[in-house]
Amino acid sequence: MTRAHIALDPHRRIGPVNRRLFGSFVEHLGRCVYDGLYEPKHPAADERGFRTDVIELVKELGVSTIRYPGGNFVSGFRWEDSIGPVLDRPRRLDLAWHSTETNEVGLHEFAAWLETVGAEPMLAVNLGTRGTAEALELLEYANIGAGTALSELRAANGRPEPFGVRMWCLGNEMDGPWQLGHSSAEDYGKLAARTARAMRQLDPAVELVVCGSSNAQMPTFGEWERVVLNHTYDLVDYVSCHAYYYERDGDLGSFLASAVDMDHFIDSVVATIDHVRAVTGSSHVVNVSFDEWNVWYQDRFENVDKIHGIDNWPTAPRLLEDAYTVADGVVVGNLLISLLNHADRVTAASLAQLVNVIAPIMTEPGGPAWRQSTFFPFALTSSLAKGEALRVSVESEHYPTQRYGAVPVIDAAATHNRAAGTAAVFLVNRSQTDTASVTVDLARLGQLRRVEARTLADDDPYAANTLEAPERVAPKGNDSVALTAGGLSIELPPVSWTAVSLAE
């Protein structure tokens, strides 16, 4: 048994928990859209072709903002292909994923689906094969009320009122050699600045996300952000961060410590943002949009799934369909802890992705939809993390990892909703062998009389939900939780993630 102690203080606030932290991502990739959220022949499809079982699961997941339509896909996307009568829409090659895009689902269909699930759109413009002019055309089509060629076209396509999209990504991963239109930081920074200036001229209410690095291992990481922000600082609201983690070479210890890397990544990007702010003398604050994060077994995609061949451009192929284990779910829960602990500067984030493609929700054509292990920590954190994120001080033993050196066994985040008289504590035990006995000092949070805890853990950390066993893995009530004088105590099994909810 290891021991840990956590202290919270309602006066030591990190910042408000922005609902946009619980965003997700729908890319035209594999079976995310087609045979995922949209399957007109499915028995549960509504009159528009959307699967109602998937809609219910998306609502249960509690997603706020949904990024669309990519990802790498957006860098070859012509938005006007995806509007107008469906039968007239062109079939196009999607070079990013070596697939055929039918454009059966486009801007209008996606917006209607978003309204059904109750989420906000976050659109990306193509700065790979296209530029400022096309970004302005899409923005006019989406946000101008009436009286212009493109707003009238939108009305003629069945949507008189504007979509009113606030969040816009200025391209995607433009530092990556795999990206159509891959650029130097200088070239991208100039294009992003021109595009941002023009988009603001058209609609001053837009919130713009400029591309940061594709991951913290990119050779240009840090310098890319500095150069791009030198060109764009006062014109943008967010810099994007992207990070994917997976267990490599059987090294579960390092994998379970992935959030240590995410913490460091965020701190580095914030430091670079603030350096540019100091140098430019700006009073504007740029924040982080962590708009792609998850567990993704990228080696499987590279070595098994990747599609090749000049005559081979499938529609909705099975790509990036990782089946997530309990350990993966624990890591996802821990990455959410990292986001909460940076709530002052990470004010938007997107779990990549939503359905079938590295997703918390899986579907079978004509068959069921089910929750992956990663679904649960996301849904519970989204529903419980309200109010302010509090600074937690964690006293924990450390364990050695190959990738990150010595890391704490226990990690935690906490939120406090003073108005509602509720609080939540999120905990991870990274030990592979030992149960942890944890005490949390809550004295300064006032009279919290009700406590409940749910823990995601399993005797087999590699257990997963599958088509054959869709309910093998789920969080269970943790009966060890107890209120004590001034706090609470709880036992956390090895390789586990726990959400504790407290109320007056």
Question: How many Å apart are CA 163 and CA 66, to the nearest integer?
Answer: 14
Please state, as a whole number, how many other Cβ atoms lie within 10 Å of the Cβ of residue 128: 24
Residue found by looking up tokens 């528009």 in the block: 48
Question: How many Å apart are CA 121 and CA 25, to the nearest integer?
Answer: 10
Minimum distance from CB of 28 to ligand AHR (Å)?
A: 10
Residue 412 tokens read as 């935690």
Cβ closest to ligand AHR, residue 140 vs residue 292: 292
Check binding of 173 to ligand AHR (CB under 6 A): yes
Check binding of 171 to ligand AHR (CB under 6 A): no
Sign of the four-CA dihedral 72, 78, 81, 83: positive
Check binding of 353 to ligand AHR (CB under 6 A): yes
Of the ranges 69-77, 150-158, 367-375, 391-399, which one interacts with ligand AHR (CB under 6 A)?
A: 69-77
Cβ closest to ligand AHR, residue 169 vs residue 410: 169
- Write the interaction track for ligand AHR spanning residues 28-67; mark x where CB under 6 A is met and - where it is not: ----------------------------------------
Candidate list 23, 69, 70, 121; residue touching ligand AHR; CB under 6 A = 70
Residue 115 tokens read as 């309204």
Please state, as a whole number, how many other Cβ atoms lie within 10 Å of the Cβ of residue 415: 24
Candidate list 72, 143, 151, 372; residue touching ligand AHR; CB under 6 A = 72
Residue found by looking up tokens 């035990």 in the block: 429
Cβ closest to ligand AHR, residue 62 vs residue 70: 70
Residue 65 tokens read as 């903002």
Q: How is residue 472 annotated by DSSP?
A: S
Sign of the four-CA dihedral 205, 210, 215, 217: negative
- Write the interaction track for ligand AHR spanning residues 238-277; mark x where CB under 6 A is met and - where it is not: ----------------------------------------
| Interactions with ligand AHR, residue window 367-406 (CB under 6 A) | none
Minimum distance from CB of 334 to ligand AHR (Å)?
A: 20
Per the DSSP assignment, residues forming a β-bridge with 244 are 294
Candidate list 4, 26, 27, 210; residue touching ligand AHR; CB under 6 A = 27
Minimum distance from CB of 306 to ligand AHR (Å)?
A: 13
Helix intervals (H) in 73-184: 107-117, 132-143, 149-156
- Look up 292 and say whether it is catalytic: yes
Q: Are 340 and 430 in contact (CB under 8 A)?
A: no
- Look up 173 and say whether it is catalytic: yes
Q: Classify 421 as helix, strand or coil.
A: coil
Minimum distance from CB of 292 to ligand AHR (Å)?
A: 5
**What is the number of the residue whose Cβ is closest to ligand AHR?**
71
Sign of the four-CA dihedral 326, 327, 328, 329: positive
Sign of the four-CA dihedral 268, 269, 272, 274: negative
Candidate list 109, 203, 247, 292; residue touching ligand AHR; CB under 6 A = 292
Minimum distance from CB of 274 to ligand AHR (Å)?
A: 25
Chain contacts with ligand AHR (rule: CB under 6 A):
27, 70-72, 172-173, 214, 292, 352-353
Just list the catalytic residues: 173, 292
